[in-house]
Amino acid sequence: MAKSIYKVSAFTSDPFSGNPACVIPLDDWLSEENMLKISRENAVPETAFFIKKSNNRFALRWFTPELEMDLCGHATLATAHVVRVYFRDISWPITFETASGELLVDYVDEFYQMTLPRRKGKACDLGEQLKKALNIQPDEVYKSRDFMLVYKDQHSVENIQIDRAIFNEMDLGTGGLIITAPGLEVDFVSRFFTPQASILEDPVTGSAHCTLTPYWSERLQKKKLLAKQLSERGGELACEDTDQNVIVSGRAATYSEGILTI
């Protein structure tokens, strides 16, 4: 069995930065076991599998090397890029049917605009285990799908160190740890870490901005914000809080295309 496979860098126009995702079009779903094995072999943060249902509707699933995810922003953006570049007769905006419901994606002025769930965090305690895993303690702590730790400045985010041995003892389900602060050149910056993952720090995390956007929108009294994720690869995002959803936008660049033989 041979399938097309595309490697796309999301939230960037440079294929050597942003967050890499592999995207695989299918006619029918493979077994979950095989999709997970393929994701492990690809060794990127997420692999997206999708099925075209019409000229503007697709079924979409996301896998890390460890598990199937309920939501992945950068792999959704990467899939929209593959749809636009490699498929004909597409009508924008397009809709992805996913485990998190229907996700609408439009393409406007070279930006993919994703309408994603709004996941406002609730204030909570840090917890002793997480406290011990951090070299710098946060000013505020929130919880939605992910933990979100808010710091006073960008310098703190840049210098965060995670004790991986302690961090890996935590069970966050499909969630992770968002580190965020006001930005020097953008409205806010962030980093994202996942325990028990082969890739500790995610380069650019679209789904984290489902929680970041409502927080910073309320704090800065702005509906539209610019954000940067401060990983080694780095990435830039435009975010908007609509009160019902968040709109997360970014560019994408194809790194490679090929044939996957199973």
CA distance 129 to 211: 22
CA distance 193 to 144: 15
Q: Among 46, 158, 169, 185, which one carries the catalytic annotation? A: 46
CA distances from 201 to 45, 178, 234 (A): 9, 10, 11
Contacts for 122-128: CB closer than 8 Å, 24+ residues apart: none
Picking from 150, 131, 130, 154, the residue whose alpha carbon sits closest to that of residue 140 is: 150
CA distance 211 to 245: 10
CA distance 38 to 24: 10
Decide if 46 is catalytic.
yes
Per the CB < 8 A criterion, the answer to whether 98 and 60 are in contact is yes
Q: Is 43 left (phi over 0), alpha (psi -120 to 50) or beta?
A: left
> Alpha-carbon dihedral of residues 64, 75, 174, 193, nearest 10 degrees?
90
Going by C-beta distance under 8 Å and a sequence separation of 6 or more, which residues neighbour residue 226?
Answer: 183, 186, 187, 236, 237, 238, 239
Catalogue the active-site residues: 46
